[in-house]
Amino acid sequence: MKLTLIKPNIGRLEHSLYVDEGRMEPLQIGVLAGLTPTGVDVAFHDDRCESIPFDDPTDLVAITVETFTARRAYEISAEYRARGVPVVLGGFHPTLIPEEAAEHADSIVLGDAETVWEDVIGDAREGSLKPVYRSRGIAPQAGGLFPRRDIFKGKGYLPLTLAQFGRGCVNECLYCAINVFFERTHTFRPVEEVVREIEEQRMKVVFFVDDNIVADHEAAKELFRALIPLRIRWVSQGSIDMVQDRELMDLMVESGCLGNVIGFESIDPDVLREMNKAPNLEGFDAYEREIEILKTYGLQTWAAFLLGHDSDTRDGLYETLDFALRHKFTFAAYNILMPYPKTPLYRKLEAEGRLLYDGKWWLHPEYRFNYAAFRPATMTADELTEIAFDIRRRWNSRGSILRRFFDPRTNMRSPYRAFIYWAYNPLFQKETFKKQGMRFGVSREGAPHCQ
């Protein structure tokens, strides 16, 4: 039996190959390959950097689907099904909106695949795929499963490896699809398994893809203590309230942490309350104390902001940019608030009649990447789109990149940290402008850009 695994892109032009230069190895594909029983030939194609050979013989195709890649994933599925090849879809989007995904596949997997993938493969061998496989929630990579990374060779990924300690989040942020997918649970792997996985692969820079690596402080401390002898460098995602635990911070840095993606989301406490971002509100002081602690530890922060909440104003959004520039964050993301299906935010906007693109922006032929998909309260959707792009443009300007470098406690702290800064800022700048206004799925025309 031959299994073909696919990682879709968000979109591409019909007669040219769009290459995502900031792509990282897709850990979920490696996990699927690792779950696949011996005796099954596994092929992997990454739509972000190569053309998919639809006519190559295969017995089953599995596609991981995120909301941003749903339209393209359905196109890929249609190509294989037209050739008589059964397709199974899994990942976040099919779990959030299974009734839609089921229309584009022979089978769908709801939830994490660890407990059902062996059944999927066995049924496919017998030609008796079930329409739906429902995961029985367990800790990630249960049973000591390691991803297969040999399938990533030659695909030009960034020079770091992806790993996972924990999955899920217990917070109740209004906009977040993570807590919907995992039903507000958080689970984590045995520390010894994480350590062994890192020891057995060649990379010494690790990106832990956890939604919040410090969700459980005591578990995180156990992990960090075990990482210290490995002498690796690592990054992850973490909530800002981690700075309140100094032992946690000491161990984090000692274990090789370079910095984290941190969801600041807004500098306005009213907006934070609106989005129910509880970890950010405790003792709120406009983040001044928290940022000072991060810089004391030398951590290079990737600050994430969400733009377009009902309490947001034009001036307030530009104040967010000024805040980030003043603190000279190493990286920052300014994302328009997106109504993901089945989230409280989606239901709220739907009830108020404020969703655009017939409510399914991820499938609509007129939707463009980084465009507002709803009517904001204090501005038009077009105004929000234009402001968000202008903020990204200013943040990624050459002058901004140069000025932000001059922070002796973070970006200039060591030659290696300076290298990180100058290696990735130009790359993220390029990808920001290249993706702006991109159509989802295959497009017969170029992507319009905000001016």
- Domain residue spans of the chain: 2-134, 159-299, 325-451
**Cα–Cα distance measured from residue 257 to residue 298, given in angstroms and rounded to the nearest whole number:** 10
Residue 355 DSSP class: B
Q: Are 62 and 6 in contact (CB under 8 A)?
A: yes
**Phi, psi dihedrals of residue 133, rounded to the nearest 5°:** -120, 125
The residues, ordered by sequence, that sit 6+ positions from 306 with a Cβ below 8 Å of its Cβ are 175, 263, 265, 266, 275, 335, 336, 337
pLDDT computed for residue 13 by the predictor: 73
CATH topology of domain 159-299: TIM Barrel (3.20.20)
**Cα–Cα distance measured from residue 289 to residue 286, given in angstroms and rounded to the nearest whole number:** 8
pLDDT computed for residue 450 by the predictor: 37
**Cα–Cα distance measured from residue 31 to residue 140, given in angstroms and rounded to the nearest whole number:** 10
Is residue 88 classed as helix, strand or coil in its secondary structure? strand
Q: Are 335 and 307 in contact (CB under 8 A)?
A: yes
Both tokens of 46, joined, read 């990454």
Q: Which residues of the chain have pLDDT under 50?
A: 447-451
Q: Are 363 and 341 in contact (CB under 8 A)?
A: no
Class of the 2-134 domain?
alpha beta
DSSP-derived pairing of the beta strands 233-237 and 331-336: unpaired
Go through the chain and tell me how many residues it has.
451
> Mean pLDDT for the chain?
94
pLDDT computed for residue 445 by the predictor: 58
The residues, ordered by sequence, that sit 6+ positions from 352 with a Cβ below 8 Å of its Cβ are none
Q: Are 58 and 81 in contact (CB under 8 A)?
A: no
